[in-house]
Structure formats: C-alpha cells, structure tokens
Structure 1
Amino acid sequence: MGSLTVLLQLTLLVSFAILIFQANGQGLKVGFYPYKWPNLEPVIKDVIYKVISEDRTLAPPLQRMHFHDCFIRGCEGSFLLESPTKQAEKDAFPNLTLRGFQILDKVKLAVEKACSGDVSSADIMGPFWEVETGRKDGKVSILNEALTGLIPPSANISTLKKGFADRGLNMKDLVVLSGSHTIGISHCSSFSNRLYNFTGKNDADPTLDSEYAAKLKQKCKPGDQNSIVEMDPGSFKTFDVSYFTLVAKRRGLFESDAALLNDGETKAYLKFQALNKGPTFFKDFGESMVKMGRIGVITGEGGEIRKVCTKVN
C-alpha cells in the first residue's frame, strides 16, 4: 500500500467516518451544513490533510479527542474550553496527555473564514466524513467530571460495560471502539501497574503474556512516567485489525484491553475479528463512531456556536 493511500486512509479515519450514514440522531443529520455552505467540508478536509501529511502520528490523538469529548457531557466540545483557574475538563489528569488542539484551532479558523458564526466547535471534531452534524457547543466544562467520568485504562469488564451502557452503547460498540487502540502510543504511566505492582505486592499481571511483559519492562523501567510505547507494536500508524489478534494472544497493552476477554459477548466478537482478519471491522467501526457521536448532543436552541473553541461567547 503506497504512502498516499495510507495517508488518505488515516485522514478519513481521524475524521470519524468510514461509511455514509443517513439516519438522524437527536436532531443531527448528514448534510446539516452543505446547503448553505457547500465548501465547508472541502475546507476542513484540506486543513486536516495538510496537517496529517506533515505528521501522521497526529491521527490517533484526534480520534482520542473525540472519545474524551463525547464521554463527558456528550459530544458538545466542552473539553476544548479553557479555565483561568485550571478547573476545566482539559485540566483533568486523563486529559493532560491529549494533543492536537492546535489542529482544531486551525480548522476552526478556516471554518470561520469560510462560514462565520454557523459551525460549532463540537461539529469540527468530526470533519469530512459524511457524519451527522448540527451540534451546538456546550458552555460548561468541569475538571472533576472528566477526572471521574472518563473510563481509565485500568478498567475491568464491569466498569467498561456500565460506562458504555450508561451512554447508550452496547457491548459490540465497546469492543469496536476499543479497536481504535490499533493506532497511537501510550505513556508508561498508563499501564506500568501491570508490570510492577498489579495487586500492590510488587507483582505483575498474570494475564499479560510474559514475553510481551518482558519487552514492555525494557522500555518502561520502574517509576517511569514519561516514556512511550506503541499500542499496536509494528503497526501503530496503520488502522487495521491487528489489535484484536494481539488482545486474543494476551498482548493487549491496557487492563481494559485484557478485560474484553472476561465477558462472553465481548470475547466472541474480539475473537471473530482476530480469526477472520476483520472483514466487517471497518463498517462496524463507522457505525459505532456515529452512535458515539450522538451522545448528549446539544441541538436546536440549546448551547451556542463559539467564535473560538477555547472560550464561551
């Protein structure tokens, strides 16, 4: 596969759509803007393409941003707001490693030039896939909500199932969206507990493949908080189904990855993708991303359309 093809694939993926969906969701719809602003999506696509062509490692952070936004207060851009006292969602510990905000600033600037005052920051989180749009921006962003509401990488299967069910997502969505770990990196601090102090007795997680654990220990020494590793070794820049194969072999990086093997329904879907090399994964991923994009959206007369993504009007 040529570099241009890979780049285009990544660009489409970080735009949060693989297929064309026509269903409405809570006032959202495909084609919310094009009638009034037919050049909107090309403008967004151009900015994203230029950014990703310069640094392909920025694709996973954009995807992660969408998840972190939607799981707290819904998909209404509240995680973009800044607080002078550092008490917004952006300031919560799980969000401190988010990166790529400058990309959204570039997109917002280009959008304001093309169609000033009409397109929300919440909608540019899902650029040029033909996804449902029509969101308004939220006005509230609270650090503690992100601190306690985001599902941590140490989550067990019960926490994962409840967290997704509370947001209207099913077990298939849980496994499908976990598949986004096929691209990107992680800091050692997110999983070092599995290597050195799993039960509080200076032990390792017995469910983690020993050979894989040994390789991780070479990269993450005790107490190391800042070093990084690939979430999908050898394939972390390519959106594919290798994540499922790794998890099935007990080589999922996070406890939340390994937890997918502890439930019959999630394990069955995971192993199906691993054994069949993901014939339906891309379609399923697109569908689950659209469902996630409907969580807690503000439409109609609610919310606002921010002039600047980091500040309420």
Structure 2
Amino acid sequence: MRPIAALFLVSFALLLAPLRSHLQLGFYSGSCALAEFIVKDEVRKAFFQDVGLAAGLLRLHFHDCFVRGCDASVLIDSTPSNQAEKDSPANNPSLRGFDVIDNAKARLEAACPGVVSCADILAFAARDSVQMTGGLRYDVPAGRRDGRVSLIAETRALPLSTANLNQLTRMFSSHGFTQEEMVTLSGAHTIGRSHCTSFASRLYSYNTSTNQDPSLDGLYASRLMQQCPQGGADSVVPMNPGSPVFADVGYYIDVLTNRGLFTSDQALLTSTSTANQVAQYATNPLLWKSKFAAAMVKMGQIGVLTGGQGEIRSNCRLINK
C-alpha cells in the first residue's frame, strides 16, 4: 500500500467516528479548550521520568474499553462491598499509569470543573502515548461519560496471554473487530513489559523433552529462563526486547522468528491469513502504524456512554456521591 493510501485510512476512520458513536472531534473546544494539552503535558512529564508508562497508559485504555466499554470503569477503586476491575489478576499488578490520569484530572478539575470525563482522559493519554513512542498521531473524538459500575468478575472479557487464535478472534469479534484488526492491535505489544507469570508456562510446563513450548525459539527461551527462573521472583521483562520503548514493527519481526513472548502472540502464525498479515506488517512500518491508529480510534468507541448517560467523575477513582 502506498503511504498516501495508508494515511487515508486514518483520516477516513476519523470522518466516520462521530457518526458511529456520537463522539465529536474538538468536543472540548468551547468548554475546556486546554483539555487535550493538559493531558498531553502530564503524559509527557511522566514519559520523561519513565518511558515505560506510555505502554501502561495504552494498556489502561485497552483494558477499560474491553470491559463495559470505554467508560473509565478500570480506574474505580475497590470498596469494602465491591471488588473493582483494577484488582483482578488480569489487571493487578500489570496495569500502571493511574497516577498520570489522577494528575491530569486534578489539573482539569482546577481549570474546568466537572467538564472533562475520565474516559476521555484515558483516550487522550493513550493517543499521546502512541505518538510519543513513535506511532502516528491520530485525532480522538470525545464526549465519553464515566460509568458508575466496576466489577472484578467482568474482567473475564479481557484476552488472555494463553489464548489461541480462535479464542482471540472470537473475543475481538465480540467487540466489533475483524481478525485483521485483531492482528493490528496485537502490535501494541511492541512496547511495554510483562511479568514472568504471564508466560512462565511456556518455559517450564510443556509436555516436551525440554518442558518448553516448541513454538518458542530456543535461544530466546534460554534468555527468558535466566530472567525468570522457575520458582523465582515475579520479575518483569520487555515484551519486545529489541526496541521496547518504540512503537515499531519489531513485534511482528519477533513473532516471525518465534520470539513472540506470549502464546497469544505466537498464535498469529497458526493460520495463513494472519501469518501473511504479520509478514506484511514486519516489512511495512507505515502500513501498520496507519492501521493501528485507525483501530485505536475504533476501539475508543466501544460501548461509550454519551449524552445523559453516566457522569463526569470529579475523582477518577471514585463514583460521584
């Protein structure tokens, strides 16, 4: 695909965004003109202190949207009477960046009280994280409102690192994504880190002579075993060891060479169509970046609350009284 055509995909997705979900570009231009600037400033400050927070903010947005839609329910704290999403094993301790959202919200409440939703802050922060790590900038239609429910049981809607291709396809399809978009969004694993427990079974629990997943490159497996010794501390390792802080196609190159960290990563090679897409992205960075931006815009519209639904939380961790 030519660069102009690839970039057109992003623009076309943005043109359709307000029609699909009643979100609007420039939603805060009249009510809080500095909203996106303030969020980006907080993301930038956090990024300069810890580049890994970009992946954390991207993952926060993803885990929010795949449970109850993009309503900032992942930010709500648990209470004595309710265990919230953030305390699920699928989210804790892997999710981070909550303090970045808190800081942005505090500044926005000081500048424009009761105007900017936590759900929109998450969407803006994810976009800024993609851009700061080298991905394409994309416009974010806004106008989301915050949900009032966060249940640990509902995190079962999140994809597992042990999922096979059929499971991944079904899960993404349930949120309106094609298999091609699923492969595209999987590229988010090009940045960030993972706890050893998320992939340790591939190193020590397979019924093979080595106890290792045969789809995992042997040298890469040996390196991972040094970083994640059996029975050792639950350390963290980069998901894309070659360029863990850059939104590039290193992830797809890793998958092609059997160095995908998760079972779900390597599963992308188990069908001809998805394997071909992985190979195409590995050699065409602009194509992946443009399609990833378009898929992120689409993801940000899953199950959004708009109009009179939901609320605008004054504290992203707490439901308004």
Compute the TM-score of the two structures, normalised by the length of structure 1: 0.90
Note the 1:178-189 alignment, pairs <5 A: 178-189=186-197
Per the TM alignment, residue 202 of structure 1 is displaced from its structure 2 partner at its CA by: 7.6
Separation of aligned partners in 1, 2:300 and 2:49: 27
Asked if 2 retains the 8 angstrom alpha-carbon contact of 1:189 and 1:224, the reply is no
User: 1:263-308, CA deviations, whole angstroms, 9 ceiling, x for partnerless residues?
Assistant: 222211111112x242311111100001111111111111111011
| Residue equivalent to 2:142 | 133
Do residues 96 (structure 1) and 102 (structure 2) align?
no
Selected match of 2:297 from 285, 290, 297: 290
Structure 1, 115-124 or 32-41: larger mean CA deviation: 32-41
Structure 1 partner of 2:312: 305
CA contact (8 A) 1:73 1:296 kept: yes
Alignment map for 1:158-237 (pairs within 5 Å): 158-199=166-207, 203-237=211-245
- Name the residue aligned to 2:57: 62
Unaligned runs of 5+ in 1: 1-17
The answer to whether the 8 A contact 1:70-1:292 is kept is: yes
Shift of 1:183: 0.7
Q: Which shifted more, 105-114 or 49-58?
A: 49-58
Question: Using the alignment, how far apart are the partners of 1:63 and 1:226 within structure 2?
Answer: 22
Go from structure 1 to structure 2 and tell me whether the alpha carbon gap of 1:74 and 1:200 turns closer, same or farther (over 3 Å shift). farther
2:102–2:316 CA contact under 8 A, matched in 1: yes
Size of the aligned set, in residue pairs, is 294
The 4+ residue runs of structure 1 with deviation greater than 3 A are: 199-202
Residue 186 of structure 1 aligns to a residue whose secondary structure is: strand
Task: Please list the CA deviations of residues 169-198 of structure 1 after superposition, one character each: whole Å capped at 9, or x if unmatched.
Answer: 111211111101111111110000001003
In the alignment, residue 101 of structure 1 is paired with which amino acid? F
Backbone CA RMSD of aligned residues: 1.7
Q: What one-letter code is carried by the residue in structure 2 that aligns with 1:173?
A: E
Q: Which residue of 2 aligns with 1:271?
A: 279
Q: Is the 8 A contact 1:188 1:224 kept in 2?
A: no
Checking the alignment, whether the CA contact within 8 Å between 1:22 and 1:29 is kept in structure 2 is no
Counterpart pick for 1:157 among 160, 165, 175: 165
Shift of 1:225: 4.9
In the alignment, residue 81 of structure 1 is paired with which amino acid? I
Moved more, 211-220 or 201-210: 201-210
Q: Are 2:148 and 2:310, in contact at CA under 8 Å, matched by a contact in 1? A: yes
- What displacement does 1:228 show? 1.3
Residues 288 and 199 of structure 1: CA distance in aligned 2, closer, same or farther (over 3 Å): farther
In the alignment, the residues of structure 2 paired with residue 69 and residue 200 of structure 1 have an alpha-carbon distance, to the nearest angstrom, of 37
**Is the counterpart of residue 46 in structure 1 residue 44 in structure 2?**
no
TM-score normalised according to structure 2 size: 0.87
Letter in 2 for 1:106: N
Contact 1:177 1:285 (C-alpha < 8 Å) held by counterparts? yes
Q: How many Å separate the matches in 2 of 1:174 and 1:223?
A: 33
- Provide Cα deviations, 1:190-243, integer angstroms capped at 9, x if missing partner: 000001003599821111111111111111111235111111113101111111
Query: After alignment, is 189-198 or 263-272 more displaced?
Result: 263-272
Q: Secondary structure at the match of 2:285?
A: coil
CA contact (8 A) 2:64 2:70 kept: yes
**Is 106-115 or 121-130 further displaced after alignment?**
121-130
Write the letter of the residue equivalent to 2:306.
T
In 2: Cα distance, 1:139 partner to 1:199 partner:
45
Aligned in 2, Cα 1:108/1:136: closer, same or farther, shift over 3 Å? same
1:50 deviation in Å? 1.5
CA contact (8 A) 1:187 1:225 kept: no
1:22 to 15, 24, 48: 15
The equivalent of 2:115 in structure 1 is: 118
Q: Deviations over 1:103-129 (max 9, x none)?
A: 100010011112110111011002265
